[in-house]
Structure 1
């Protein structure tokens, strides 16, 4: 890895990492929350500690809120802009970044995730039609067949790592097909995605960034060849449509591809694995689903609320404003703790209770809100509901085989490994 990438890491992540570690040692709650995932996997006590301090809390790292109404308002207010890591770099140091630009990725411009209108509108519009409810409905048969194939491959009365063998395989198969990638490349994309996912956090270590950068460079080379191939022989997939439309340049095409691949995979793999853990540990809720399978869609909403696959996001206000009665100066960063908003007692009765019949479970903010609401939300919901139902119907005695292992991340919240004992196999297919 070239030295300039180390300097980029130092400017963009190294200094914030040092600041986080310093404030964490001093006991700052937000710093502890952001730097603790590798060792402390239950963020709820820290989120509740912040909630106890008010709707909007000033910390040494900026403003932070766990308030549902406030988070939703900010997400929908276009007077706030997205908070990308590069935006916090002092201008005199930006020459370092310009000389060590990473390949297109989900957390750097021109990714839709970190840009604002009008560029955000221009980038999002060409892909939005692929994620309409009608378009997602047409994918249901493929989700069912992929799920059946994966369940058939699991050993009856055997054991498995459910993340590697199932939870990750369902979404990667579907999003790969949607982008025109061959099945043979799935494992490469899984490896690249796993390496790059820490980029969403603040202050990852240099070895982590070195691994992520190498993965991005490999993916960039692959996408160059893939896009060139689609120009010669376009298919019916999303990326072929973007290529033939000619509205985006190559860097924008690759940024869109990496974001769609990441977003189409990360939320759903965490949703499925989080759902398995919650339902195994709440057998009364699982029994209710077996009696009333029509509750599965609402159960997925409750999983998304109770154990959010995406825990946080950030915004920067353009003008001096007042939030929750507190004056906030222009250019301030506000950390929106979505996992905390999903447990707001002002919105969700008894919020720390997992309840698949919760009437307003869908009011969670896991998929964000406003113009940056997750494009693939409908797809993730459909994949999650079918994958979970099919798994528990095919293996009704499934149980954990030891403690599952959480991913050492702050923003993305899920499991890296989940050993299970599958038990007997029930051969009847899941009803549509």
Structure 2
């Protein structure tokens, strides 16, 4: 009698998947690779999708809503008995969390400043900031890259883009560090919500004052352009513009910090790829895409089904949550042959979903790409290669959806 159990029946009903574990934080890619061999599965109260085909399909499917986080925040605030209407409105009026007509309207009123042509006009500002921060780092025998270069750099660039004075940099940095936790409400306690609300009110008041000034005396910077832009008789309200400004920092600083730090790390670990980039500078745009693909700053995002949908042979019911693992999709061998290899000559690296896909494609994608291109171009031009001095990499632990380094000590030689 043959007692052999078929291989398909030997697999556990629910694959092991613990994105909160230290091992996963250090290196999620072995888990992703194993999960891509299986159909979508449900765990931790949500469907988990890891394949490029499935992740990109959901990202562009309007039957999946991006309003999950604002809904969860409202539920948590009610459960804590807290009245924080500004936190609720931040979710309701943020482009990243809106659907349908609201999303289309906000996108129409902001695209004028975030399209490729407008962002390209910031190149001199970005070049100047990169020259300052990277130049100072290159002159030192060793440097902690995150705190001295890759975090203050996007803060400086966005501040200049908005036309804010240097005195705004420190308070905005502190406000942003706290308010960014809004992106992951599962980790917010009642006391944390109270502090978040207090800081958010200060953040809003700061921008309210600046908006009043540029409404009275327009200039050529981002806030003034958005404040005075009109489309078919419609324009952003002050409240909406305040939330746009806040989300520029909350969604744009940490992801760009991670992108730049990850790029330095990858080229330090793949010196032959850095030499190739030095020899062929025309590879630069593709190199940035390959960094985004290989070590995606935003690893995960969530959606909720607004109607029944079939994905990869499973039915996702109304109200069910879906966790989209972009970091896994971007290593999928079915789309990116030898996806676990870092290769700046890869022809289809731009198919990555690091910036999302469909109507919710990251509004700041062009800005992040341009900063990375200018940064790497300056590093290549310096002729210096980074050497990592840390024995153990310190991946940031305060976020479950972002993959970036909390610290990276390097020398340039």
How does the TM-score come out when normalised to structure 1? Answer: 0.83
- Cα separation, partners in 2 of 1:90 and 1:255, compared to 1, 3 Å: closer
Q: Which has the larger displacement, 319-328 or 145-154?
A: 145-154
1:68, CA displacement in angstroms? 0.8
SS in 2 for 1:344: coil
Residues 105 and 258, structure 1, Cα contact 8 Å, conserved in 2: no
Match of 2:290 in 1: 302
1:149, CA displacement in angstroms? 2.2
Q: Which has the larger displacement, 166-175 or 405-414?
A: 166-175
Q: Tell me, yes or no, if structure 1 residue 284 matches structure 2 residue 269.
A: no
Distance of 1:393 and 1:386 partners within structure 2:
10
Mapping for residues 164-243 of structure 1, pairs under 5 Å: 164-206=147-189, 212-243=196-227
Q: Residue deviations 1:159-202, cap 9 Å, x none?
A: 22111222123322222222222233223322322233333225
Query: Aligned Cα RMSD in Å?
Result: 2.6
Q: Tell me, yes or no, if structure 1 residue 127 matches structure 2 residue 110.
A: yes
Q: Tell me, yes or no, if structure 1 residue 410 matches structure 2 residue 394.
A: no
Distance of 1:183 and 1:105 partners within structure 2:
28
Q: Tell me, yes or no, if structure 1 residue 381 matches structure 2 residue 369.
A: yes
Distance of 2:140 and 2:131 partners within structure 1:
17
1:88, CA displacement in angstroms? 4.2
Number of positions where the alignment pairs a residue of Structure 1 with one of Structure 2:
393
1:404, CA displacement in angstroms? 4.1
Match of 1:16 in 2: none
Residues 160 and 420, structure 1, Cα contact 8 Å, conserved in 2: yes
Match of 1:113 in 2: 96
1:213, CA displacement in angstroms? 4.4
SS in 1 for 2:187: coil
Distance of 2:87 and 2:212 partners within structure 1:
17
- Cα separation, partners in 2 of 1:39 and 1:271, compared to 1, 3 Å: same
Residues 393 and 405, structure 2, Cα contact 8 Å, conserved in 1: yes
- Cα separation, partners in 2 of 1:161 and 1:188, compared to 1, 3 Å: farther
Distance of 2:203 and 2:275 partners within structure 1:
43
Mapping for residues 7-22 of structure 1, pairs under 5 Å: none
Distance of 1:133 and 1:87 partners within structure 2:
32
Q: Which has the larger displacement, 66-75 or 233-242?
A: 233-242
Residues 155 and 253, structure 2, Cα contact 8 Å, conserved in 1: yes
Q: Which has the larger displacement, 274-283 or 66-75?
A: 66-75
1:397, CA displacement in angstroms? 4.0
Distance of 1:182 and 1:273 partners within structure 2:
26
Match of 2:338 in 1: 350
Match of 1:293 in 2: 281
- Cα separation, partners in 2 of 1:211 and 1:37, compared to 1, 3 Å: farther
Distance of 2:181 and 2:222 partners within structure 1:
26
How does the TM-score come out when normalised to structure 2? Answer: 0.87
Q: Tell me, yes or no, if structure 1 residue 420 matches structure 2 residue 410.
A: yes
In structure 1, list runs of 5 or more residues that go unmatched: 1-26, 424-432
- Cα separation, partners in 2 of 1:322 and 1:398, compared to 1, 3 Å: closer
Match of 1:23 in 2: none
Residues 103 and 217, structure 1, Cα contact 8 Å, conserved in 2: no
Distance of 2:359 and 2:115 partners within structure 1:
15
Q: Residue deviations 1:232-281, cap 9 Å, x none?
A: 32322222233334723332221111112233323221111000001101
Match of 1:47 in 2: 32
Distance of 1:59 and 1:41 partners within structure 2:
21
Residues 274 and 307, structure 1, Cα contact 8 Å, conserved in 2: yes
SS in 1 for 2:160: helix
In structure 2, list runs of 5 or more residues that go unmatched: 1-13
Distance of 1:36 and 1:43 partners within structure 2:
10
